[in-house]
Structures are given as structure tokens and as C-alpha cells.
Homo-oligomer: A and B are copies of this chain.
Amino acid sequence: MKRILAVAWALVAALAFTGCATNTNTTPAVENGPLIIARQGSFFVGGRDVKSDNLSLLPAYAPGGTISVEQMYVHYQVPVQASRPPVVFIHGCCLTGKTWETTPDGRMGWDEFFVRRGFPTYVIDQASRGRSAADPSGIVAVKGGRAAPDTLPQVFGAAQEGAWAIFRFGPKFPEVFPGMQFPLDAQAEFWKQMVPDWLNALPTPNPTVPALSQLAQKLGGAVLVSHSQSGIYPFQTAALSRAGIAGIVAVEPGACPAADTDMTPYAGLPILVLWGDYVPLSPRWAPRLKTCADFVAAANRAGARAEMVMLADVGLPGASHMLMQDRHSLKIGAWLADWIDAHVAR
């Protein structure tokens, strides 16, 4: 009986899904029924071989040889009803692709929500982070006495106390902004998402950028959705080549391109710079708001179709910097899905 009910659910979901393919309301069938996937999997983009004599100090593993570094891990899901353009989710500082998965309090992440809305989703781990390999040779060389300590890679961890204000849970640890929607009850689970950040140990541009360009070209028309530290990457990717880029969504970007730089890469491109709440109250974030506003204006003068939106202005107040995990994350996701529908050509 349980099995029959489960199949009935799948059928109902499949039918509801058809009916909802052009309907942007969030119906329970789309968000709560079984998830029907046409294809899923993972692969790498980019990467290069490096030869080193400093790979291991252990007898069981040879000290020298070849490793592959700078590749970008990509996990994807394509819904049966892929009626929308593919979306590439790019995490920020000290985090991995986990950012977009199940929220710390156990609710559906944007990775699944957008699939349910008909978008193929591609979740990446930045080069040297998560399932994208870092290069250990700089550590092995120093431990083995073959290089000076100051040659060690510039790795860092973001302390929870300091990250509190960066993620705008409140003005400073452990104060909380009134009405702030991040699920702080589940903060222990959130802190576990944080990993050491190798950003400053990598070449410029970050190898994630050419890898994103390769991925966009493979997908043939993707929306690049960045967050925080990765905010500049989609713009750098477009400057490298517009091929395969259908739109850019910068969720709380750590940086926008300077307004006096070349804006021709953005001509005709739909661009959204999206902000949560309390931004003007943050000494770290307020100046970025200004730079991004200047960028949006300059890009539009060059023919872009750029806009900047504060979520509080569209009826979604209380958003933290981790807005894809806030209590109202699916409402924000639904708003964003509608924005993409309205602005990005299928």
C-alpha cells in the first residue's frame, strides 16, 4: 500500500509538474512531491598537471611525480522538465558547494529548488576547495626542510566570531539584527560548512574563472550565480569570453567591476546584483553596495541590462548574507527564479 501511495505521489507530482511548467507559483506538488530527474552526475572542468618532488614524506607514497591541480568539481541535476536555462551556483569565501544544498536547519536548498522549478543546476566547488584538489607540495616542501616557512601557501580559516559580522547575522558576535532570518538555532551545522580557504595561494585570475568559462560554453547559455567572494568571477568570466553566458546574478558580491573599466563585455547581458538586509549598517558591506551601484550604472550606459535589488524593497526583509539558507530562502529563490524567467532568454 505504501508503495502504491508512493507511486501515486510520483504520478501526481509528474502531472502537477507539467501543469506548473509555466506557472511561477510555488505549489506544494512542485516543492514537496517526489523529485523527477532526467540526468544527474558530476565531472571536472579545467585543471593542469604539475610535476613535483615534494608530494609525500611517507614511505608508502613516492615523493615525486605528477598531480592534477586547479580543476573545478561540478555536480549537476537536470530535471525531466528542463524548461529553463541552466544555472551555475558558485559559492563564496571559506565555503564549498554545500552552500546551496540542504540548509543548516534541514530545509531544501536552492540546488534542489531550482531543479523543481525546471532549471538544470550545476553546483561547483571553487578550485583548491572541497572536491577540487589543492596542491600539497608547498606544505610537504617546508615540512621536509626543502623550502622556507614563508613559502607556505597563504591558507586561512575564517573564525566563527569574525564571520558572524561578515555574514551579517548581527553587527558583531553574538549580537543579532532585529528580524534577521538566518536559522541561528542551527548555527553549529552551518559552521561545519566552513573549510580552509586557499584563494590567496592561487594564480590570478583564479583558475575557477577560466573553468567557469569552459563550463558555460559546454552548457551553451548558462546563468552564472555567484555569492560573496566569488562575486567578481562571473564578470571576469564574461570579460574572458561571452560565449555561453546567458546572464549573471551576483548574490551579495564581495566586489563588482570598477565603473571605469571596460564595460563592453556586459553589453546586452541581463545582470542582477542582489542584496539582503542591513547592508548599509555593515562597515564591510556598505562600500561594496556603492561600488556595485556605480558598476550597474556604467554597465547600463554600455548597453547592459543590469539592475540592483535590495530584497527588503521587494517584500523580503530580514535577509542575511547567507540568504540562500535564511528561513525565507525558498521565497527568495522563487523571486529569483521569476527574475530569471523575466530577464533571461530561454
What residues of chain A have their CB less than 8 Å away from a CB belonging to chain B? 3-4, 6-7, 9-11, 14-15, 17-18, 21, 34-38, 40-44, 47, 49, 52, 55-58, 61-62, 64-68, 71, 73, 75, 80-81, 83, 96-98, 101-102, 106, 108-109, 112, 125, 130-131, 133-137, 139-140, 142-143, 145, 149-150, 152-162, 188-189, 191-196, 200
A279 CA to B4 CA in the complex, in Å? 46
Whether A157 and B41, one on each chain, are in contact in the complex, defined by CB atoms closer than 8 angstroms, is: no
A232 CA to B142 CA in the complex, in Å? 31
Helix, strand, loop or mixed for chain A's interface?
mixed
Give every chain B residue within 8 A of A200 (Cβ-Cβ).
58
Whether A80 and B6, one on each chain, are in contact in the complex, defined by CB atoms closer than 8 angstroms, is: yes
Give every chain B residue within 8 A of A101 (Cβ-Cβ).
41-42, 75
Q: Which listed residue, B14, B112, B133, B194, touches A11 by the CB 8 Å rule?
A: B14
Give every chain B residue within 8 A of A140 (Cβ-Cβ).
155-157
Whether A81 and B136, one on each chain, are in contact in the complex, defined by CB atoms closer than 8 angstroms, is: no
A71 to chain B: closest CB distance in Å? 4
Whether A196 and B36, one on each chain, are in contact in the complex, defined by CB atoms closer than 8 angstroms, is: no
A142 to chain B: closest CB distance in Å? 5
